[in-house]
Chains A and B, each alone.
Chain A
Amino acid sequence: MLRAYVWLYVAVLFGPLFLIVLFSFHSTPAQYFPMQGLSIIWYEKFFENHVLVESMRRSIIVAVSSTIITTVIGSMAALALARLQGWAKSAFGTITFAPVALPGLFIGISLLTLFSQLGINRSLVTVALAHVLISLPFFIEASRSRLEYFDLSLEEAARDLGASAWDSFRLVTLPIIAPTLIGAAILSFAISFDEVIVTIFASGSETTLPIAVWSMMRQAMTPAINAASVLALSCVMLLIVSFALAGWLHRRRKLDRRKAFNDGAGA
C-alpha cells in the first residue's frame, strides 16, 4: 500500500516533466496521444526562433547573476542568523522572511517607483536585482534550518589545530555547509528563471524566457517551448552529474596515492 503510494507520488511529481521530454521529440505539433512518430524538428525550430534563443540567453544571464548575489548575501545572513541569540534572532528571522507574504504586484510597483526615483533605466540589471530581492528570503529560509544545526565546536576544533579564523571558515565551515548552500542556490536559480510578475515591472525592452513564452502562447502553443525546457533541464543535470563525477574521481585518486605510499612503506 505504502509502496503504491510512493509510486503514485513519483508519477505525479515527474509525470508532467516526462510528458514535456516526450512531446519535445514528437514529429507533429499535437500535444496528446497517440504519438505519430519521433523527430528533433522542435529543437531545430527552437534554434531557428531568434526571440526564444535570445530570451533564454538573457534568462540564464539574469538567473546566474542574481543567484550569485543571493548566495553571497544570503549565506552571510543565514550564518549570522544561526549565531544570533534571543530576541534579535526572532526579530531578524521575521524581517528576512516577511517579504514572502508580499504580493509580487506590490513589489513590482514599488521597484518601478524606486528605479524611476533614482533615475535608473530598466534593463537586465534591474531585473537581476529584483530577482535577488525575491529569492533572498527563500534562500535564507532554506539554508538556515540546516545551519542552525552546525556544530560550532567544529570551528573551535579547527582553531585548536592551528587554523586562523579565515582558514577554519575556508577549510571546515564552508565545505560542510556547501551542499546546503548549493541546494538553496538551485532554488534561487529556479525562482529567478521562471519569475514573471516582478520581471514585467523591472524589465526594459529586453524580456526573459518566461515572458517571451507567455507572449508566444497567447497566439499559438509551439512544441519548440518543450524543446527549450528539455534543453534547460539537461544543462542542469549535466552540471550536477559532472560535479559528482569530479568529486568521485578526486577521492579515487587520493585513496590510490595513499595506498601506494603505505605499500611502499610496508615493503
Chain B
Amino acid sequence: MTQAIVQLDRITKSFGAFRALHEINLDVRHGEILTLLGPSGCGKTTLMRIVAGFEQPSTGRILIDGADMVGVPPERRPVNMVFQRYALFPHLDVFDNIAFGLRLKRLPAAEIRTSVRKILELVQMQDLSDRWINQLSGGQAQRVALARALVNRPAVLLLDEPLAALDLKIRQHMVTELKRIHTETGTTFIYVTHDQDEAMMLSDRIVLMNQGRIEQIGSPESMYAAPDSLFAAQFLGDTNLLPARVVSVNGMVARCDIGIGAVDVPAKGLAAGNEVTLSVRPETIVLSADGVAPPGPSFRGKVRDLAFIGNRIVYWVTLENGQTLRCQEARTVAGLRFQAHAPVRASWPVEANVVLEG
C-alpha cells in the first residue's frame, strides 16, 4: 500500500471577495508526476503555492509526508520549487546557486561539493559550474533551476510552468529530460501547466482544474478518451461537439438524433428524451469518397478546407445541415485523398461517441 505523500483536505482560498479555490481534495501519490492543468486563473498556481507555503489556505488542511503543514513557513517544508522564470540568483554562479540550500543546512564543504557535482552530472551541466547566470541559455538556466531544487532531496518537487519561457524545440527536448530525471531520482513531481501537450506527455495523472474547482482527475489516456464534461472534452485535445437528443434506448445502445440523422451511442445512464452533447474526436472520423457507402450511419458533406501538417492531414467537412466537422487522418503514401470542395461521406464507430451532459 502506498500512502499519499501530499494530502490536500478541503482546501479553500479567498482573495478578498474572490474565491480562488473551492474545497479542493487531492491525494498525491509517492513517486508520481501529477499535473495541475487548466486555463490561466483556474487556481492551479495558487494551489501549488499553498503546497510550497507561499500562500496560506483560507480553510482546510495540507499534510506532507503525514505532517500538518498549515502555518509552517516555506523554509521548513520538505518541498522545493522550480520557478516559472527560474528565479536563479544573479549574483552567484551556477555552483553557488545549487549549493545555496545545502549551505543553509550547514553541511560540510566536501559533502556540498560532492552533492553539487553529482546533481550537475544528472542535469548534464558539469562543465558549466563556474558560469554566471546571465551567461546561460534558457535551457541551461532551466537545468540549473532543476538542480538547485533537486540537490536538497525534496519529498516533492514543485514545478511552476517550467517550460513556458522556452522555445518549442527546447521545450520538447526538456519534456523528455524531465521524464529521465524523474525516473533517475524517483522524486514525486507536482507540475503546473496550461499546456495540454506537456501535461499529456509528462503526467502519470492529470488534475484538470477550472474556476477554482477540480473538473476531473485521471491518466492522460483515460481523460482524453473519456472526458467527464464539456470543459474536459474541449480543453484536452480537439473535438467535435454535436447537440443530440436520445430517441430510444435498446439494451447497451442508445439511438440519438443529431439533426441530420441518427447515430448509436453507448447507452450508459441515458433515457429516451434526454438532451445531450456528443463529443467525437477528429481522428475517429473516417472519410470516404461520396458514392462509397461505409458500413453503419454516414453523413454526406463537402470538404470546406484542409490543412496539411506533414504526418497528418486535417479536413473541415461541412455537412448538409451546415454543421462543420473537424476530421483528421494520418498521412499515408496516398497523400491528400480529397481536395477542397470534394463531396465526401463521414462516419465514425459507436465507441467514438462520448456522451456529455446537456
Within 8 A of B (CB), among A148-171: 151, 153-154, 156-164, 167, 171
Query: Measured between C-beta atoms, what is the minimum distance from B92 to chain A in Å?
Result: 8
Pick from A162, A176, A255, A262: contact of B75, CB below 8 A: A162
Contacts of B73 on A, CB cut-off 8 Å?
159, 164
Contacts of A159 on B, CB cut-off 8 Å?
53-54, 73-75
Query: Measured between C-beta atoms, what is the minimum distance from A91 to chain B in Å?
Result: 22
Contact with A along B78-101 (1 / 0, CB 8 A): 011101110111110001000011
> At the interface, yes or no: B117 with Cβ under 8 Å from chain A?
yes
> With A258-B130, A261-B110 as given contacts, are A157 and B87 in contact (CB-CB < 8 Å)?
yes
> With A161-B101, A161-B152 as given contacts, are A172 and B89 in contact (CB-CB < 8 Å)?
yes
Chain B residues proximal to chain A, CB less than 8 Å: 52-54, 73-76, 79-81, 83-85, 87-91, 95, 100-101, 104-105, 110, 113-114, 117, 129-130, 148-149, 152
Question: Can you give 15 contacting A-B residue pairs, CB < 8 Å?
Answer: A151-B87, A153-B85, A153-B87, A156-B83, A157-B81, A157-B83, A159-B73, A161-B152, A162-B75, A162-B101, A162-B152, A164-B75, A258-B129, A262-B117, A265-B114
Contacts of B114 on A, CB cut-off 8 Å?
265
Q: How far apart sit A167 and B105, CA to CA, in the bound complex (Å)? A: 12
Given A156-B83, A157-B88, list of 6 further CB < 8 A pairs? A161-B104, A162-B75, A163-B104, A172-B89, A258-B129, A261-B113
> With A156-B83, A160-B52, A161-B152 as given contacts, are A176 and B101 in contact (CB-CB < 8 Å)?
no
Contacts of A154 on B, CB cut-off 8 Å?
87, 89
Q: How far apart sit A57 and B24, CA to CA, in the bound complex (Å)? A: 68
Q: How many A-B residue pairs have CB under 8 A?
A: 72
> With A160-B75, A258-B129 as given contacts, are A151 and B117 in contact (CB-CB < 8 Å)?
no
Q: How far apart sit A171 and B85, CA to CA, in the bound complex (Å)? A: 20
In the bound complex, do residue A160 and residue B74 qualify as a contact, i.e. CB atoms below 8 Å apart? yes
Contact with B along A253-265 (1 / 0, CB 8 A): 0010010011001
> At the interface, yes or no: A183 with Cβ under 8 Å from chain B?
no
Query: Measured between C-beta atoms, what is the minimum distance from B158 to chain A in Å?
Result: 8
In the bound complex, do residue A258 and residue B87 qualify as a contact, i.e. CB atoms below 8 Å apart? no
Contacts of A161 on B, CB cut-off 8 Å?
75, 80, 100-101, 104, 148-149, 152
Contacts of B148 on A, CB cut-off 8 Å?
161
Pick from A157, A162, A261: contact of B89, CB below 8 A: A157
Contacts of B110 on A, CB cut-off 8 Å?
261
Contact with B along A126-156 (1 / 0, CB 8 A): 0000000000000000000000000101101
Please, which residue of chain B has its CB at the minimum distance from the CB of A151? B87
> With A158-B100, A258-B113 as given contacts, are A175 and B91 in contact (CB-CB < 8 Å)?
yes
Q: How far apart sit A103 and B135, CA to CA, in the bound complex (Å)? A: 47
Query: Measured between C-beta atoms, what is the minimum distance from A233 to chain B in Å?
Result: 29
Pick from A156, A175, A255: contact of B74, CB below 8 A: A156
Contacts of B105 on A, CB cut-off 8 Å?
162
Would you call the interface of chain B mostly helix, strand, loop, or mixed?
A: mixed
Contacts of B85 on A, CB cut-off 8 Å?
151, 153
Pick from A156, A162, A164, A255: contact of B87, CB below 8 A: A156
Q: How far apart sit A151 and B87, CA to CA, in the bound complex (Å)? A: 8
Contacts of B104 on A, CB cut-off 8 Å?
161-163, 167
Residue of B53, B76, B104 ringed by the most chain A CB atoms within 10 A: B104
Contacts of B80 on A, CB cut-off 8 Å?
160-161
Q: How far apart sit A160 and B154, CA to CA, in the bound complex (Å)? A: 11
Residue of B75, B105, B113 ringed by the most chain A CB atoms within 10 A: B75
7 nearest A-B residue pairs (beta carbon): A161-B101, A157-B87, A162-B104, A153-B87, A159-B74, A175-B91, A162-B75
Please, which residue of chain B has its CB at the minimum distance from the CB of A162? B104
Residue of A157, A163, A167, A258 ringed by the most chain B CB atoms within 10 A: A157
Contacts of B95 on A, CB cut-off 8 Å?
258
Contacts of B91 on A, CB cut-off 8 Å?
172, 175-176
Q: How far apart sit A258 and B112, CA to CA, in the bound complex (Å)? A: 11
Contact with B along A198-242 (1 / 0, CB 8 A): 000000000000000000000000000000000000000000000
Pick from B54, B88, B90: contact of A156, CB below 8 A: B54
Q: How far apart sit A172 and B87, CA to CA, in the bound complex (Å)? A: 11
Contacts of B54 on A, CB cut-off 8 Å?
156, 159
Please, which residue of chain B has its CB at the minimum distance from the CB of A161? B101
Residue of A156, A157, A161, A176 ringed by the most chain B CB atoms within 10 A: A161
Contacts of A261 on B, CB cut-off 8 Å?
110, 113
Contacts of A158 on B, CB cut-off 8 Å?
89, 100
Please, which residue of chain A has its CB at the minimum distance from the CB of B81? A160
Please, which residue of chain B has its CB at the minimum distance from the CB of A157? B87
Query: Measured between C-beta atoms, what is the minimum distance from B111 to chain A in Å?
Result: 11
Q: How far apart sit A162 and B91, CA to CA, in the bound complex (Å)? A: 18
In the bound complex, do residue A255 and residue B101 qualify as a contact, i.e. CB atoms below 8 Å apart? no
Q: How far apart sit A167 and B75, CA to CA, in the bound complex (Å)? A: 11
Residue of A153, A157, A160 ringed by the most chain B CB atoms within 10 A: A160
Q: How far apart sit A161 and B83, CA to CA, in the bound complex (Å)? A: 12
Q: How far apart sit A183 and B89, CA to CA, in the bound complex (Å)? A: 21
Please, which residue of chain A has its CB at the minimum distance from the CB of B101? A161
Q: How far apart sit A158 and B101, CA to CA, in the bound complex (Å)? A: 8
Query: Measured between C-beta atoms, what is the minimum distance from B154 to chain A in Å?
Result: 9
In the bound complex, do residue B75 and residue A163 qualify as a contact, i.e. CB atoms below 8 Å apart? yes
Q: How far apart sit A89 and B89, CA to CA, in the bound complex (Å)? A: 27
Please, which residue of chain B has its CB at the minimum distance from the CB of A159? B74
